[in-house]
Chains A and B, each alone.
Chain A
Amino acid sequence: MTAEVEAERNDVRDDGRRPPRAVVGSHRIDEEMFGRVFDGKVVSRIWAFVKPYQRQMLIAVAAVLVFTGTQLMIPLIIRNAIDDGLVGGGGLAALHGAILVFAAVIAVNFGASYVQESVVGRTAEAVLFDIRQAMFAHLQDVSLSFMDRTEVGRLMSRLQGDVNSMQEFLETSVLSVGDITLLFGIIFSMLWLDFRLGLMTMAVLPVLFIVRIFWLPRARVAFMAAHETNSITNGALAEAIHGVRAVQSMDRQDVNFALYEEKAQANLQAHLRAARYAQVMVPIVDSLTGIAMAVVIVVGGSMVLGQSLDVGVMVAFLFYIQRFFDPIRSLTMQYSVMQRAMASGQRLTEVLDVAVDVRDAPDAITLSPDMDGSVEFRNVTFGYNPGQPVLRNVSFKVNPGETVALVGPTGSGKSSAMSLVHRFYDVQEGQILVGGHDVRSLTQQSLGEQIAMVLQEPYLFTGTVLENIRYTKTDASREDVIAAAEAVGAHSFIMALPDGYDTELGERGGNLSLGQRQLLSFARALVANAKVLVLDEATASVDSYTERQIQKALELLLKGRTGLVIAHRLATIRGADRIIVLQNGELIEEGNHDQLMANAGPYARLYNVSYASFDDLPEVAADADSDDMTASRT
């Protein structure tokens, strides 16, 4: 057998072919990087975030203009110094005058540059954080079904990448003002100094514009490709790091290395290509600069020789030419930034526009902590999509202090029922009452405070054990937290952690076992001290020792509270005061364990086929046909 395996692996391996089913890393280009250059709707939405900083923006633009103005003046002052002081008859007095003006101009330049850079930098940062804050706050309110549909990674790229490109956009748009001013300032100054020479010098400008217009789209493709291959290779590296154990245990190192080498090679080539595009402009710009200077020297020089031009003007021209191409270069770069920003802005507004389904009613009242703790479903019909109800006309009541177990196969509507109690969604028909009040008439905050929820997957946050158990109850004392942990039986393992209650948990509580995380989430629910407990029992099995601890903790948690439990384990179900069996969104049986067993209905059937756990129905129902299938395949 082993020999056969070896053969199967080797014969194809040796022919040097690339394995047909092997890839490393993954890359999905799901976002268009460039949008339209200008999108009025997007701009107006973003403007709303800039508006609070209107004054700063005005100051910034003014500073940019002053800054550019002073830069433009420097060649003119040099010209005056030369023409009036050195060559003309003005002598030292004229020179000193020019130096004084120069000193004043650079002082203003210093101030303007300081103001411009700090105001632009700070405002762009502040706007960035504001946009992010608005999006984050909005995501706290949008419907959960949106959150279920949307990958966290996608939202994170909105909150980070897209927000960052808006910041870049704000910074460059202010700087663009400066570049445009500089460009026109230089053109104006040259024409003003000498109209004819100015025109001749500027003859090279259109050439550069045309070259860049042809160059830009191609170069951008090359730059994007380089950027893209970066994320591809880095993605493959990240996969190799995260999955190193799987890679080693299946001996894929060599295959993966060969595949990675291809990606790294592609990355290298893409970067070299991008570098060629970036560099091809350098000799063009330098040659055009050279031509412009040659024109000034030949034409301007002859004019100076012929006394029709002052030598200072020629010097000023030479200075202007050296700055000539900078604004054109940065303006064309800013064009790409604009496009990227529009695409990002589009995506940002999409997030900001996600509808909020569940809101507090205008006259919502606060649910008093003294309410009786009853939960009632009255003829509830609910579905995520209209026409596809997941709960149909469900009615039942959980009396104060009672524990009711919800049982049923996957897709029977158990989890939806649980979400409705907390008003994660609104019912389509009927109503849900907590403490005798329709949940839609209560504030979400007060409702949330009275209903504690334990989810199937224990979810912990980065932070200490103490902070996790406390969570929103920041006023809970250390003693309260310890008491809760002791009650659920978590105290002993917490104390065994390096820093006890102050131990920092790893990502998602990674340094704890599943059972331990569950116990912590129980302790957290206990500290929340709500009247009603809604709990989805975990399906994944933990070791028997922890299992028993969890059962005990559960009993304690339910003591004195109204409990609505989605139960999977027999012990939990048997311990419940009442059992509600759901199937296809309908309530099909109700009663305690003994009554339901006596009924000999679906519950009794389930009970009899299950061993130590109460597993889902379809596995039982589907048994027959899956066996058929296996039979037909073998």
Chain B
Amino acid sequence: MSDSSSAATLRRLATAARRERVGWGRGVSTLTRITGIALQTPWQAAIAIVSTLVAAVLQLLIPVLLGRAVDQTQVVVGSGSGAEAAQAALLTTAMLLLACSVFRGIFTTLQNYYSESVGHNVGYSIRLAYYRKIQNLSFSFHDRVHSGDLITLGMLDLEGVRMFFSTGLVRLVLLSILIGIGGYLLLTTDLVLGLVALSFVPFVAWRSSVAQLRLRATWLELQERLSVLSRVMEENLAGIRVVRAFAARAHELGKFATASTSALELAFARVGIRVRNTSAMTLSFFMAMGLVLWVGGTKVIAGEISVGTLTSFLTFMTILQMPVRQLGMLVNSFARASTCGDRIFTLLDLEVSVEDAPDAKPLELTEGTLRFDGVDFSYPETVDRQTLRGITFEARRGETVGIVGPPGSGKSTIAHLVPRFYDVTGGSISLDGQDIRSVTLRSLRTSVAVVQQDVFLFTTSIENNVAYGDPWAKEPRIERASDSAQLHRYIMGLPAGYQTVVGERGSSLSGGQRQRLSIARTLLLKPAVLIFDDSTAALDAHTEQRIRTAMQRQANERVTIIIAHRLSSLMHADQILFLEGGVVVERGTHEELLELGGRYRALYDLQVRPGEDADVEVAV
């Protein structure tokens, strides 16, 4: 499966599929794979399992010893030596019990710690694999998968897989021993009483599994409703000016109440599910206990069993109670791990569609010539519609290419093809005669830089943001780049200067400042091909002019591609392509195109004399 294809794969990753059940065979193979990862720490896994066995057996000994102690008090004490012997027997039992308790504690600790440890190691290795995969999956994947879903996958689904070893496998061993050996001991001691004592097990196991599965299903639903509620609140707070401007207080409170009520109703329903089941489980346990007391008591009176045996039956039950209730969690753990694991592994197994060719060599730049040769392109989701058709142009070092055209004409797509964010579907792009698909991605992307339309800033200092592409850069280079982007003066005016934290949660920059920061971090890289993808829209004409002047100094060392809708941004280019419907319809210098009197001319008239109607079809 490749990350640019298989809509079904992507759908499986989507939230809508969260409740979808995974097929039986698939589930088994997913769980096997998780177990395989858990066994990468074989010693820890072995210690966890062995400790579980030992702890469970020791725990089963406790009721036996308690019963024995009770019986030892029931011997008819005759002579003094008999009393001493009885005392000694009691002391032995007490010491055994103490030893049992201490060792049970120690082995339980080992069991818990090592199973947690195995789980965390599983989490760690999946976390790293996931991070690496996400970082390398190509744009076409990220275009179609919600970032929120990917985050959920990396947090909640990972948790489900991580917990499988401790809450699934280890608990399964524990329960098997407790119920298996414990049940065997009870049944062989007294078949009838054993059956009575175990009578609550099937009922509780069933109820708790049903309850856990239902709680999980409703939990997912509740999360969805709560996220609607948070969205209502978040949008209200972020857009509070619009809310107030429209005097929308009542309207917004209404929206809140609707979302809130729907979440509250489900929260109530969940309380209901939980309560009904826990109360019923407790009742069934106590009923079984009452029956044991009754049947066992009758047997004691009849002299069939001793008081000690009855006591050990009753304490057995208290020991079994918790693990049996946890059967539901066990079932849930298996269900959760198989669905979560399936989603995670599906993603980890995706092939990256844009990758180094097996024989890829580093890019070797000599002349620095960029060539588009009959390039066709269509996005994976719209294969039937070509976004670009037969684009051919060449730019030598020092040249500037301007690309202009109506919205949706494919301008930005050109910007994305040069650094191989997507691969062309026809024709080729080459740098100094080397097809960009034949060179390593790293060498290509260090030579080609794009200033993107939407600026993503990282939550760290301005300095680190400017040096993002080259975190080894020294201060003077950072300042030079910021200065060329006309940002240095602004930064120096900030109280913390270059140490000011920006980004999602940092102090807010205006749209223009963000764009300038993005330009600065690209200029720092001194690429051989520099592409501006409509990335000066938020700048005023003056600033843009000054940035252009500052860049002039290095412009003769690289190819510059400027994509813009403001003609003043690109009219100085050596070559301007007018793109429409993915095809170059006009090309030439500014003067030539004005002369031509075609679409470029019409656009020019529209921009220079915006108040007057120009002869151009307006299509929005």
Contact = CB atoms under 8 A, between A and B. Distances in A.
A513 to B, nearest CB: 6
A159 B232 CA distance: 12
Max chain A C-beta neighbours (<10 A), residue from B95, B250, B272, B610: B610
A278 B542 CA distance: 63
B271 A118 contact: yes
B378 interface: no
B618 to A, nearest CB: 6
Interface stretch (A16-24, A50-58, A179-187, A477-485): A16-24
A548 B606 CA distance: 8
- Which interface residue of A246, A445, A630 has the most chain B CB atoms within 10 A? A246
Given A242-B147, A297-B93, A569-B610, A6 B446 contact: yes
Contacts of A219: none
Contacts of A85: 297, 301
Contacts of A515: 620
A109 interface: yes
A541 B566 contact: yes
B252 A140 contact: yes
B492 to A, nearest CB: 10
A210 interface: no
Contact of B260 (A133, A255, A276, A611): A133
A502 B108 CA distance: 58
Contacts of A528: 246
B155 interface: yes
Interface stretch (A99-107, A190-198, A380-388): A99-107
Interface stretch (A90-98, A369-377, A432-440): A90-98
A545 B218 CA distance: 49
Contact of A301 (B72, B290, B456): B72
A287 B606 CA distance: 87
B325 to A, nearest CB: 13
B219 interface: no
Given A114-B279, A257-B131, A540-B511, A276 B610 contact: no
Interface string B444-457: 01110110100010
A301 B90 contact: yes
A44 interface: no
B469 A244 contact: no
Contact of A133 (B124, B256, B283): B256
B407 A237 contact: no
A150 B464 CA distance: 25
A202 interface: no
A286 B619 contact: no
A110 B72 contact: no
A4 B477 CA distance: 13
Main secondary structure on chain B at its contact with chain A? Answer: helix
B50 to A, nearest CB: 16
A144 B240 contact: yes
A213 interface: no
B470 A241 contact: no
Interface in A346-402: none
Contacts of A408: none
Contacts of A125: 264, 267-268, 271
Given A102-B290, A448-B246, A493 B620 contact: yes
A238 B616 CA distance: 45
B73 A304 contact: yes
A315 interface: yes
Interface in A103-145: 103, 106, 109-110, 113-114, 117-118, 121-122, 125-126, 129, 132-133, 136-137, 139-141, 144
Interface string A9-29: 100110000011111011010
B464 A22 contact: yes
B521 interface: yes
A260 B128 contact: yes
Given A298-B91, A318-B66, A144 B244 contact: yes
Interface in A138-157: 139-141, 144, 147, 151-153, 155-156
30 contacts: A2-B447, A2-B526, A6-B446, A26-B458, A91-B301, A125-B264, A152-B234, A234-B154, A248-B421, A250-B469, A250-B521, A268-B124, A279-B109, A286-B104, A287-B101, A287-B102, A287-B105, A294-B95, A297-B94, A301-B73, A305-B90, A306-B77, A422-B244, A448-B247, A519-B620, A540-B538, A542-B537, A544-B610, A615-B540, A619-B540
Given A250-B468, A615-B542, 5 more contacts: A110-B282, A250-B449, A314-B70, A542-B537, A546-B407
